[in-house]
Chain A
C-alpha cells in the first residue's frame, strides 16, 4: 500500500474517533438526545473492510452503532451530525436519529435497532444485486450478540442456498450489551458457528487494520466473484460502554487496560511512525485540522440547521405522492 494511502487511513480513523468523541460531548450537553452508541475502539473494522470494498457502490447495512460505517461509506459527516441533533438537514431528516442513519445516495442502507434484523435485509440487498446483474456486493456489519438471534441462522441458510453476494462481518467485541460472550453464547469463536451453513468463514484480529484489510480483500473478492456469501469474524473491543447509560460494571479495568494497548489507532500510528511514514508532529497537525473541521464545519452546520416542521409530522409514513391509479380511492 502506498504511503499516501496509509496516511489517509490513519487520518480517517483519527477523524472517526474524534467525531465520536464530539458526539459524546454534544450528548452530555443535551444537544443530542435518545440513545447514542459509539464505535470508538472498533475503527479498524469498518475502515479496513470498506477500504477493500467499493464504498458508495457496494451496499452497506449495520446495527445501531452506525456512524462510522455511514461515514466510511461516504455519507457526509455534516448530515450525520445533524441527524444526531434531530435536524431537518440530517441524513434521515431528523426522523431517525443516531441509530437510524440512512444515505441511499452512497448505498448506505441504514442503521437498525433490532439486533440481528439487518441479516435478512442484507441478504435481500444481495438478492436485488443478483437480479440487477451488477458486480456490487452487500456488506452487513453486526456484533457478536446478533448471532444469537434466529435471523442469523435463517439468513445464513438462505444466503448459502441461493448463493447471494453478501459479506457478513461479525464485529466480535466480546459483549452483547452488558453480557459477556462466555455467559451468553455456547461457542466463543463465532466463525465456527457458520460451518453449519456451508459458508466459508474465518477469524482475524480486528484491531490491526493491515490484518483486517488482508482478510477483507479475500472475503470481498470471494463474494464479488460470484462464490456466494462469506463470514468474516474480526476480534475487537469497544472503548466505551454499550451506550451512554452504561457504567461498564461488567468489565474489569484490567481487561480494559489490556485492550487499550491494542487500540487500532495506536497500533497503526506506531507502525507508520516506526516505518518513518509519519511523525508525532503529523498526528498533532491532523488532530488540530480535524477538530477545526468538526467544530467549524460539522457541529456548526448541525447546530444552525432548522428543526423539522411540526406540520410535517405525517410526512414519510406512506408514499406522499401516490399514483391514484393504484391507490384510488375507489369511486362508488
Chain B
C-alpha cells in the first residue's frame, strides 16, 4: 500500500517460550536503543509478546506500546511518524485504529 519503510521490523513469537520472545525483542531493541522513541505494536493486550515488550518498557523509558493493532493504525504511523511529535503521533494512531472499525449491513 505504501511501500517498504526503514526502521520498521516485524517479529514473531512462533515456537518461542517467554525467554526466547524477550531475547528476540532485546536483540532488536539493542539496535535502536539510542532512538528518541520506539513504538512497539502488538495485537493482544496481555499476550506473551505484550509481556516481553512491557518488561522492556519498564526498564527503558524510550518505549511506547500500543495494543489492539489494526492495519489503519500501522498505516497511520508509517505515514505520519516523520511529521508529528511522539504524543501527537500516538493519539493519531489510536484515532486511526478507532476509525478503522466500522460495520455495515
Do A and B come together as binding partners? no
